[in-house]
Amino acid sequence: MGLLRKTQLLLNKYRNFLLIIGGSFLFFIYIFSVFRSSGNLFDAVSYSQIIYDRNGNVLRMTLSADEKYRIYTPLDSVNATLKEAILLKEDKFFYFHPGVNAFSLFRAFYHTYIEGGKKIGGSTITMQVARLLYNLKTKTISGKIKQIFKAILLELQYSKSDIFETYINIAPCGGNVEGFAAGSLIYFGKEIKDISLNECLFLSILPQNPSAFHPKSQTFKKSLLETRNRLFTLWQEEYPESKNDSAQFNLPIEIQFNIPFHAPHYTTALINKFSHQQRIYSTLDLKLQKDLTRLTTRYIQRKKNMGVYNSATLLVDADNMNVIASLGSADFFNDEIEGQVNGTKSRRSPGSTLKPFIYALAMEQGLIHPMTMLKDAPVSFSEYSPDNYEKDFKGPIKAWEALVASRNVPAVTLASKLSNPDIYDFLHEINIGDLQEKGHYGLSIVLGSAEFSMEELVKLYSILSNNGTYQDLVFTLNSELINTTSPNKVLSEEVCYLIKDILRKNPNPTSVPVPINKLMNISIAYKTGTSIGFKDCWAISIFDHYILAVWLGNFNGYGNPSFNGRYLAAPLMFEIIESILPQICVADEIDALDYPPETITQINICEVSGQIAHPFCRRKVSTLYIPGKSPITKCQICREIYVNIKSGYRTFKQDGEFIKKQVYEFWPSDLLALFRRAGIPRKTPPPFDPNEDLNLLSNTGLPPEIVSPLKGTQYMLQPGKKTFTQLPLLANVDADVQEVYWFIDEKYIGKINSDKIQYWSLSPGKFLLGVVDDHGRSDTRIINVGIVSN
């Protein structure tokens, strides 16, 4: 039977059906030519989010809402070679037909249903888009007809560019990978604009049989390669100039299956924050991120025998506050260490890492300079009695030494003297931490009773790095996504320099003979911290224009005596710096920290007292000093007195055969007690001649200072009790004082040696407590004793 006869029989058989279809077709053409859609064809399609590092490397790609890896790519961003390859393979006449290629359909129909041969495709790109968008079953005649009509409607509603762009973005490429951009990234590790001709041809044939593709299937891979080779032959016929590409084409093609999943904590935070942004260009540097991850993981492996299993690290460029590397935990997938908790955002006790800001505020308020002598002696503040980590006291200690050694008592004492702002007000003003009311913490905030995240601590330290300016961290390079607060000047440049200068005196905790930072002449200013109960240990450093923070601990809150900031966190921090420093810093001839602000000067001070030196100070040193801000008190420890060398008494007489001038150190009684306890001899000044005028005595030296009862404390009695028993009375006195006299409301209650404690019982009421030393110098304090209400 001839071809013409077969065709006539088929047309007669389906005559009524074809008339209905044709009429409907003309009706829909008319309707949609009037109401052409102006919307986007791909609005209903969900896409993956993709996060890049600062250099364009992919950090992570998420699943779309329907659990596909599908990356939206505008048509003009697609590799031109890939577009030509797709058209050559799928639809050579795409730009010339109305959505359906009648010749291709007829050829497929004839071959399949008349000749009874193997099914061949006749679908255009538009028809494939219709099938994919509307989930059509096209293996039957009715399904194919629906596909044809949907394709024609798409052509009437949308432009060719819209349809082609949709195909490129939703074409199946194996498994749950859809779209050539996702396929390019997953199979070749490349952006779609960067793939070669070889890879373009390979991708263009994947939609032919995507369900059978698997990168590890050698059989199917061989079949794909054969198909690609046939396509290349067609390509050479279409583009004769491409014959020069044969050598490159014959190179083996590397097919992988790699879903990028770097910096999971960091990228998860970005995804949650910018859930509607399809492409996020982050500030992270993938190479440095891998370095931090590798170094931290290796360090933890070495320390596992000490019970160390988890860590977090954060590297920030302080110049622009870009987060360069961020490791939220040692292992994101390890449930035993709660690895999916983000250690850079979780709030923990900061230990002593706030102390630099106590000293900074004290410098701002004119309380200290780096060489100011502070007291490291037992002290109480209301019900709070701070202790040192080593459970000892050093006595007099220079401010810079107290900060470097992280002594608790001097820091808390300084914090008690701060005002407008104190440390709580300072933190609250810049909105650091989720602080409760001030009374909840008291002075214990100095030692870590308030919790802060690593990101918040790094922002704090950026104030020092940026000469007093506070700024938010920046996580993305997308200008439309950056929402930072305006820079806020909270400390002076001079104070920031002095604090950094102190912190760089911290010793290198590693055993490297000549650290690379020394070779590059880059100093490292850092502070460590250990939380109460050894639950967290910290190390935070400033070097060049970078800030690096390291935390080790357990998210479950269990303590470990090994969690010590100086001995556990600092070595890891220095290992990281040693590794990354050559990558991110340029060696300088002179360290930038060697250049103090011009407003900082040097001044001679007494090495003993830390106060401005006078002629009686035998040992003098220089210190950095901020004119108009640093304290100007002259030395009160070194004093010149007149002594009668015959009687041994101190005297006011300046002339006489046996009268000599001598210089003594006048240490207050609390420090003298520490010297005696430590076995350190101190030569105390001789007593005055009993015949000296008391009025003259009261005008010399320092007055006593009541240290107990505590200033501003109200003492409460339980109901039914009539007196407050055994209230300790204690005062610090000058070195030449032997006895003190105590008074209540100007009524004498007793005398005692200057280094002893007087006890007294008080009934409810308000009282004036007074103390007078044996030189007639005095101090007073109001005491309130109340009754607890029922």
Cis peptide upstream of residue 627 (ω within 30 degrees of 0): no
Cis peptide upstream of residue 709 (ω within 30 degrees of 0): yes
Under 8 Å between Cβ of 748 and 709: no
- pTM, two decimals, is 0.84
Measured at the CA of 470, the angle between CA 406 and CA 553, to 5 degrees, comes to: 45
DSSP state of 98: S
489-529: pLDDT as tens digits: 999 999 999 999 999 999 888 776 657 777 677 889 999 99
The whole-number average pLDDT for the span 529-544 is 93
The whole-number average pLDDT for the span 345-351 is 95
Q: Compute the distance between CA of residue 554 and CA of residue 614 in angstroms, rounded to an integer.
A: 53
In 10 A of CB 720, how many CB atoms? 6
Question: Would you call 459 exposed, middle or buried from its count of C-beta atoms within 10 A (0-12, 13-18, 19+)?
Answer: buried
In this prediction, residue 380 has a pLDDT band, given cuts at 50, 70 and 90, of low
- Flag whether pLDDT at 188 surpasses 80: yes
Q: Distance between alpha carbon 53 and the CA centroid of its chain, in Å?
A: 17
Instruction: Find tokens 């498994």 and name the residue.
Output: 175
Q: Compute the distance between CA of residue 68 and CA of residue 63 in angstroms, rounded to an integer.
A: 5
Element (H, E) at 105: helix 102-109
Question: Would you call 446 exposed, middle or buried from its count of C-beta atoms within 10 A (0-12, 13-18, 19+)?
Answer: buried
In this prediction, residue 587 has a pLDDT band, given cuts at 50, 70 and 90, of low
Under 8 Å between Cβ of 689 and 652: no
Q: For residue 445, report the phi and psi dihedrals to the nearest 5 degrees.
A: -60, -25
- Flag whether pLDDT at 19 surpasses 60: no
- Flag whether pLDDT at 238 surpasses 80: no
Q: Compute the distance between CA of residue 286 and CA of residue 358 in angstroms, rounded to an integer.
A: 36
Say what percent of the chain tops pLDDT 70: 84
Helix, strand, or coil (residue 464): helix
What number of helices (H) and strands (E) belong to the chain? 24, 27
Q: Compute the distance between CA of residue 299 and CA of residue 467 in angstroms, rounded to an integer.
A: 33
- Flag whether pLDDT at 372 surpasses 80: yes
Q: Which has more confidence, 106 or 623?
A: 623
At a CB cut-off of 8 Å and minimum separation 6, what does 770 contact? 742, 743, 744, 746, 778, 779, 780, 781
Of 521, 547, 557, 392, the C-alpha closest to 454 is 547
Q: What is the pLDDT of residue 687?
A: 85
The whole-number average pLDDT for the span 178-191 is 91
- Flag whether pLDDT at 727 surpasses 70: yes
The whole-number average pLDDT for the span 215-220 is 58
In this prediction, residue 735 has a pLDDT band, given cuts at 50, 70 and 90, of confident
Helices 160-170 and 141-157: crossing angle in degrees, nearest 10, is 130
DSSP state of 257: -
Under 8 Å between Cβ of 353 and 540: yes
Q: What is the pLDDT of residue 646?
A: 85
284-340: pLDDT as tens digits: 999 999 999 999 999 999 999 999 999 999 999 999 999 999 999 999 999 999 999
- 3-state helix, strand, coil split of the chain in percent (to 5) is 40, 20, 45
At a CB cut-off of 8 Å and minimum separation 6, what does 676 contact? 682
| Tokens, residue 371 | 């060489």
Q: Compute the distance between CA of residue 56 and CA of residue 315 in angstroms, rounded to an integer.
A: 19
How many residues are present in the chain?
790
Q: What is the pLDDT of residue 35?
A: 43
The whole-number average pLDDT for the span 31-40 is 49
- Flag whether pLDDT at 26 surpasses 70: no
Q: Compute the distance between CA of residue 246 and CA of residue 250 in angstroms, rounded to an integer.
A: 6
Q: Compute the distance between CA of residue 155 and CA of residue 168 in angstroms, rounded to an integer.
A: 16
Say what percent of the chain tops pLDDT 90: 44
